[in-house]
Amino acid sequence: MWMGCASLLLLLLGAGSLAFPSRVAARESNVIAIAAASDLIFCLEELNAQFCQLHPKAAPQVTAGSSGNFFAQLQRGAPFDLFLSADVRYPEELARSGKADGTTLTRYATGRLVLWTVRTNLSVTNGLTLLTNPAVRRIALANPEHAPYGRAAKAALESAGLWHVVFDKIVLGENIAQTAQFVQTGHADAGLVALSLVSAPKLKQTGRWWLVPESLHPPLEQAAVLTGYGRWNEGARQYLDFLRSAKGREIFERFGFRNSAKTD
């Protein structure tokens, strides 16, 4: 009897959600669906809070992941209004393939890469050479094949002539936040992660970091774009403007981002 009622209820719930697609609901409730590179997870909490003060009705909803993954999903029409990538290439490609509005491309900030460890017996003062230390057995990077921070980390190790030296120690995070999690939990002895993660209040007191010079890797310039799905979403357009406003820039700076020089 009880089982019968429960399954009937589940059936009704299922039918209900089919009959009333969430997309209709989303349009009415001012939801802004944001697909964001995971170096932004902490920063976006602050950005959203400030944005909602300016636009009390807006309801930004963040999904964090690796930029490459979102790119693939958005190409297949994933229901996100905005795409905040950790690079410029993915949003540009998306616009080129007609899945995003190229005129809305916004370079909102430039990320910085840091060497990070929570091991008390390791020192980061000598920079990347720490990685050759035998006490460093595992080095976490984001996957260079689809995460911009992973690409930057690989480039930095190559520039420093260390890529082949430390290759066997490398473990790959699915995105930069998982990479940070590997280091923070001590499963990896050190890692190359986003400054925006380790300078967030949640991790500020954890471990020590060393800023990787930008001369070692291509700049981590990040861009956002309005997707085809979001082209009628006025809130999403306002959000893009907000990213480049004085308030937005101030928040990015606080989280260790450098403001992008170019504004196009």
Q: Which residues bind other proteins (CB under 8 A)?
A: 66, 68-69, 71-72, 137-138, 140, 143, 145-146, 170-174, 182, 185-188
Residue 75 CB, nearest distance to other proteins (Å)?
8
φ, ψ dihedrals at 247, nearest 5°: -65, -45
Return the bridge partners of 191, or none.
116, 140
| Least Å from the CB of residue 131 to other proteins | 16
Under 8 Å between Cβ of 121 and 207 = no
Cα-Cα-Cα-Cα torsion 195, 199, 203, 209, nearest 10 degrees, comes to 60
Which residue's CB is nearer to other proteins, number 31 or number 87?
87
> CB 108 → other proteins: shortest distance, Å?
23
Q: Could you tell me whether strands 190-194 and 139-142 are parallel, antiparallel, or unpaired per DSSP bridges? A: parallel
In the complex, what is the shortest distance from the CB of residue 68 to other proteins, in angstroms, rounded to a whole number?
5
b/e sequence 236-257, b meaning 16+ C-beta within 10 Å: bbebbebbbeeebbebbeebbb
Count Cα neighbours of 207 within 13 Å in the Cβ-side half-sphere: 30
Question: Which tokens hold the place of 32?
Answer: 């802004």
- Cβ distance to other proteins smaller for residue 38 or 66: 66
> Do strands 100-111 and 220-227 pair parallel, antiparallel, or not at all (unpaired)?
antiparallel
Write the CA distances from 30 to 125, 192, 239, 247, integer angstroms. Answer: 48, 37, 12, 21
**Residue closer to other proteins, measured from CB, 169 or 247:** 169
Angle at 194 between CA 192 and CA 199, to 5 degrees: 120
Closest CB to other proteins among residues 102, 186: 186
| Shortest Å, Cβ 45 to other proteins | 22
Q: In angstroms, rounded to a whole number, what is the distance separating the alpha carbons of residues 249 and 103?
A: 20
- Name the minimum Å distance from CB 255 to other proteins: 25
Helices (H) and strands (E) in the chain, counts: 11, 10
Nearer to other proteins by Cβ, of 78 and 188: the residue is 188
Measured from the CB atom, is 65 or 256 closer to other proteins?
65
Smallest separation, CB 119 to other proteins (Å): 9
CB nearer to other proteins: pick between 121 and 263: 121
